[in-house]
Structure 1
Amino acid sequence: MSDLEELAAEAFVYGFPMVFNLDEVSRFTREGMGSLPAAPFNRFSHATDLAGPKDTFVSVNNDTVYSIAQIDLSGGPLVLSVPDTAGRYYVFQFVDAWTNNFAYVGRRATGTAAGTYLLTGPGWSGDVPAGATRIPVPTTVASLVGRWACEGRDDLAAVRDLQRATGLEPLDPGTPPPAGLPEPHHEVSGTELRFFEKLRTWMRAFPPSATDQDYQRRFAPLGLLDDGDPYAAPSPDLERALTAGYREGKERVEHATTHGSSPEQNGWRLTYDAFNYNLDFFETGTLDSAQWVIQDRATARTVRAASARAGLWGNHAYEAAYAMTWNDGDGDPLDGARSYTLRFGTTPPVDAFWSITMYDLPDYYLVDNAIDRYSIGDRTPGLHYDHDGSLTLHLQPERPTDPAAAANWLPTPPGRFRPVLRMYQPRPAVFDGSYVLSPITRK
């Protein structure tokens, strides 16, 4: 590759998380997603059910009911109010435009009593209302991703009551309408050039930390710092470099999702560091310590891209730890044409709950199945435990004939698939190596 092409590939990896993220932000405000209706900026979209195949979002969870708001602080601060959940697990995760998880409100972070939080944009100064906790937001636009633990359909009414009791209002009733996402130039055509035009536009609108802004200056030869419109009629050399860099950068991101530096255990990728790329913004509920911060910025940028691709809006592991695998215990790719078991001698150690969720490839979506079951875990009704307390799950396309196995059946989609183990409020044994995951074994 030429130097300019290599620079474009580097820019793709750097900018992919923000572009991918803000495309989703835009989709949520315009179209919604499956169980989540569209909602304008600064208004919650409350799901009325657990996520299913119609919720076409990368690695969406099937454990909790979502309440999601895309927030825009261009007009002024917002006030978030949360109800008393009486011990029920919930979390509101704050994600900036660059996909940094910079704050948490919920059972682990702030408890389950009612609370009030003032969300303020960059550069804001003013008085915080009595009784409110201020949460500075690094970028004017951000995502507020709420998850309510739900025990199943019979529990949905209680979750809906909590959703109705959750508020998001301007601090000043006279706040002007939010500005929203700036539109990239419409004259720019083609997937590759459109990507770089979005990156150029949104880099200017949502500047990251000062250190990252210094890093961005290296991309000036690509036109990413230009005030004008460098991609409507680029020079042939620039267009070739951007096209080649886009394709190479995309391959690097895809490769990083399956060949990153996460440790492996019996075929499982322990992606406990997957969301530790935030190096600059630590507000309510975050942990600013060496265990939870990737120290090398180059590594953090690659991890951030891979995490956005395979698990956008995922939590830090101290909130919810994720392990995932593309292969069985022998290293062979998981395939829906085969049948597997997963035996837990001891189920995952958590203070909330755990689950295994099934996703297809390459999209990481839930796939329709005959029993409408997309995850299985400690809250699944009717699980069959062996006499020694162990639990054997059956991952296969067809219902097992044995009743005990059928109770523990997680249907697999056609073709390649990737299950994810989620552990909400994991205990220290998850991280210190004293708890070991079992391999998925082919029958």
Structure 2
Amino acid sequence: MLTKRDLLRSAAAIAAGAAIARPSLLMAQSYPGIIEAKDIAEEGFIYGLPLVMNYAVMQEFAVDKNSGQFKAPFNEINNQHHVATPEDTAVITPNSDTPYSFIWLDLRAEPMVISVPMVEKDRYYSVQLIDGNTYNFGYIGTRATGTEPGDYLVVGPDWKGETPAGVKKVFQSTTPFTLALIRTQLFNPGDMPNVEKIQAGYNAQPLSAFLKRPAPPAAPKIEFLPATTAGIKDNFFQYLDAALQFVPETSRDKAIRAKLAKIGIGPGKTFEFEDLSLEHKAEILVAMKQGDDKVDKWLASGNKNINGWNVGSFFGDEAFYNGDWVMRAGAAKGGLLGNDAVEAMYPYTRTDATGAPLDGSKHKYTITFAPGQLPPVNAFWSVTMYDGKSQFLVKNPINRYLINSPMLPAMKKEADGSLTLYIQKDSPGADKEANWLPAPDDKIYLVMRLYWPKPTPPSILPPGEGTWQPPGINVAQ
């Protein structure tokens, strides 16, 4: 089973024998020189990383029934009646606040209609629409469209029809395969039956069924390239080639696609290894490592450092990224399938307030929210603990992976109204356990989630410049 951790590791340190190769039909003199090929490979790796990651998740969720992470076939909904646990390893930094529902849409034959039920006004939910470019191209939900029931149309890149009667809004994807990722707020463990009732009201159907008309001919069956860890280690670019089949070229990526074609990467191309010189192989391996390092550097410094937290806006639509492939790759590597800033903000950190690495094997930590300084949100907020190496949730004796605002009534506040969270591998004691966020006996990665952040002061918006700032993490005295 492929995990995104494996994918990232393999992308950063690809097996020595691996390399992109040119098709054998290309004559030696027509293949770019070593330096040009290296530069193209580096840029192509950065451009392609989110596409390959997304393709691999689609494989696990909607294609490979034996992946261990399979949810449902294309155009069928899968409702998760639990929140993420350490067993969920398909996507790094999984959200454990909101049970997910998944609908991978195949829009080739016809558009799909997504229907949502009435949701009570104090419960947050969202339907995030993410295409194969990892662009968030639309939202349905509490913030975006309200809590009334409704029918919404999702169409592929080539669709040019009129808005059908009864459809509230049309969302157009840049790719024929797209994910509708639904989050439904869970107030507490006993609230799950209420969440399940709401999930039962989510529906996806072809436009023809919605209009009660005959269905068009089915789209051709696709033999997807299986996304295996071994395969990606052998040839990352082979998987980019596979992903690009389902990512139509746009004006923004036309230039990089033309460059990739020069070194034999593109839809429908096949690769042969024996024709590439050892020098080319070596340089392209270096290029991929350098590309991965650039993405890591952006993740480390592309955002504002506030009290040790990285605060920025990572995710958005095609216009938001505007061809900034490093930012898009950094967003995917930092937390694939994340939300736009107006929907959720994700301050994250691997360091304490002084900049020292967070390590549960060496220290105990605290975070204190001053009186009246809890995260300002319209929905809810959380602080989630991840293993610093894998970015997955951490097993612990009380099965607590996060602390969030619905837990506040059970937590202890100080006399002045401040709230302190205890971040450590062992219990801080019975009197403080309600405020304990269990940590690994190793490196720590923390992510704060602010759902539907308040747009007016005090606010974390605009990203990196807001009037509210996350408090630093301190070593416990």
TM-score, structure 1 as length reference = 0.89
Check whether the contact 1:80–1:119 (CA below 8 A) recurs between aligned residues.
Answer: yes
The 10-residue stretch of structure 1 (36-45 or 416-425) with the greater mean CA deviation from structure 2 = 36-45
Whole-angstrom CA distance in 1 between matches of 2:420 and 2:37: 53
SS at match of 1:210: coil
Query: Structure 1 counterpart of 2:384, which letter?
Result: T
Task: Determine the structure 1 residue equivalent to 2:369.
Answer: 344
Task: Determine the structure 1 residue equivalent to 2:467.
Answer: 434
Whole-angstrom CA distance in 1 between matches of 2:368 and 2:353: 12
Task: Determine the structure 1 residue equivalent to 2:110.
Answer: 76
SS at match of 1:348: coil
Structure 1 residues 33 and 310, CA gap change in structure 2 (3 angstroms): farther
Structure 1 residues 151 and 175, CA gap change in structure 2 (3 angstroms): farther
Structure 1 residues 414 and 248, CA gap change in structure 2 (3 angstroms): same
What is the CA-CA distance between 1:82 and the residue it aligns to? 0.4
Check whether the contact 1:310–1:364 (CA below 8 A) recurs between aligned residues.
Answer: no
Check whether the contact 2:137–2:171 (CA below 8 A) recurs between aligned residues.
Answer: no
Structure 1 residues 129 and 343, CA gap change in structure 2 (3 angstroms): same
Q: 2:288 aligns with which of 246, 249, 268?
A: 246
Q: 1:323 aligns with which of 331, 347, 350?
A: 347
Whole-angstrom CA distance in 2 between matches of 1:43 and 1:226: 27
1:318-375 CA-partner distances (Å, limit 9, x unpaired):
1001101110011110001110000001101111110100011222100111111001
Question: Could you list the runs of 5+ residues in structure 1 that have no partner in the other structure?
Answer: 281-292
What is the CA-CA distance between 1:238 and the residue it aligns to? 4.5
Query: Structure 2 counterpart of 1:279, which letter?
Result: E
Write out the 4+ residue segments of structure 1 that deviate beyond 4 Å after TM superposition: 31-34, 175-182
Whole-angstrom CA distance in 2 between matches of 1:274 and 1:407: 32
Q: 2:412 aligns with which of 371, 377, 384?
A: 384
Task: Determine the structure 2 residue equivalent to 1:123.
Answer: 158
Q: List aligned pairs for 1:188-267, cutoff 5 A.
A: 191=232, 194-225=235-266, 227-231=268-272, 233-236=274-277, 237-257=279-299, 259-267=300-308
The 10-residue stretch of structure 1 (231-240 or 431-440) with the greater mean CA deviation from structure 2 = 231-240
Query: Structure 1 counterpart of 2:390, which letter?
Result: D
Task: Determine the structure 2 residue equivalent to 1:155.
Answer: 191
SS at match of 1:243: helix
Whole-angstrom CA distance in 2 between matches of 1:140 and 1:391: 47
Whole-angstrom CA distance in 2 between matches of 1:328 and 1:253: 22
Check whether the contact 1:32–1:38 (CA below 8 A) recurs between aligned residues.
Answer: no
The 10-residue stretch of structure 1 (23-32 or 90-99) with the greater mean CA deviation from structure 2 = 23-32
Query: Structure 2 counterpart of 1:427, which letter?
Result: K
Query: Structure 1 counterpart of 2:107, which letter?
Result: L
SS at match of 2:54: helix
What is the CA-CA distance between 1:105 and the residue it aligns to? 0.4
Query: Structure 1 counterpart of 2:189, which letter?
Result: R
Structure 1 residues 396 and 228, CA gap change in structure 2 (3 angstroms): closer
Task: Determine the structure 2 residue equivalent to 1:303.
Answer: 327
Check whether the contact 2:108–2:219 (CA below 8 A) recurs between aligned residues.
Answer: yes
Task: Determine the structure 2 residue equivalent to 1:287.
Answer: none
Check whether the contact 1:193–1:231 (CA below 8 A) recurs between aligned residues.
Answer: no
Q: CA RMSD in A?
A: 2.3
1:136-161 CA-partner distances (Å, limit 9, x unpaired):
22110111110000012211111111
The sequence identity of aligned pairs, in percent, is: 33
What is the CA-CA distance between 1:211 and the residue it aligns to? 2.2
Task: Determine the structure 1 residue equivalent to 2:128.
Answer: 93
* Alignment partner of 1:13 is 2:46: yes
Query: Structure 1 counterpart of 2:98, which letter?
Result: T
Structure 1 residues 325 and 5, CA gap change in structure 2 (3 angstroms): same
Task: Determine the structure 1 residue equivalent to 2:176.
Answer: 140
Check whether the contact 1:207–1:213 (CA below 8 A) recurs between aligned residues.
Answer: no
Q: List aligned pairs for 1:54-65, cutoff 5 A.
A: 54-56=87-89, 57-65=91-99
Structure 1 residues 373 and 335, CA gap change in structure 2 (3 angstroms): same
Whole-angstrom CA distance in 1 between matches of 2:222 and 2:359: 40
SS at match of 1:399: coil
Whole-angstrom CA distance in 2 between matches of 1:333 and 1:218: 39
* Alignment partner of 1:367 is 2:407: no
